[in-house]
Amino acid sequence: EILMTQSPATLSVSPGERATLSCRASQSVYTNLAWYQQKPGQAPRLLIYGASTRATGIPARFSGSGSGTEFTLTISSLQSEDFAVYYCQQYNNWPWAFGQGTKVEIK
């Protein structure tokens, strides 16, 4: 099974600042990686798939990069609605698996 590790566990950022979230896979997943945003009491929302392709309706301030084992989600200028937990997910090997999440909180 592929283990997904996200860092940091918590990221404190001021509104308008840039946030950089990391996700590492225990073996290569090529670009078979997605990112999700989850707010309290809500289901996850797809942000990125294919490591770098934004899902329908996702603002351009969200961008994904990376391949192999190292991936990054960047939020260029944090808005109030972006404070949430973010998960990466690999779909290269079954069982598909999520990282443990990074909480982006207001500094």
Partner 1 sequence: QVQLQESGPGLVKPSQTLSLTCTVSGGSISSGSYYWSWIRQPAGKGLEWIGRIYISGSTKYNPSLKSRVTISVDTSKNQFSLRLSSVTAADTAVYYCARGLLWPDYWGQGTLVTVSS
CA distance 29 to 72: 14
Other beta carbons within 10 Å of 94: 8
CA distance 64 to 36: 11
Position 55 contacts partner 1 (CB under 8 A): yes
CA distance 35 to 50: 9
Residues 57-86 that bind partner 1 (CB under 8 A): none
CB 80, min distance to partner 1, A: 23
CB 100, min distance to partner 1, A: 5
**Token pair 């809500």 is at which residue?**
42
Nearer residue to partner 1 within complex by CB, 44 or 78 = 44
User: Under the rule (CB under 8 A), what is the footprint of partner 1?
Assistant: 1, 32, 34, 42-46, 49, 55-56, 87, 89, 91, 94-101
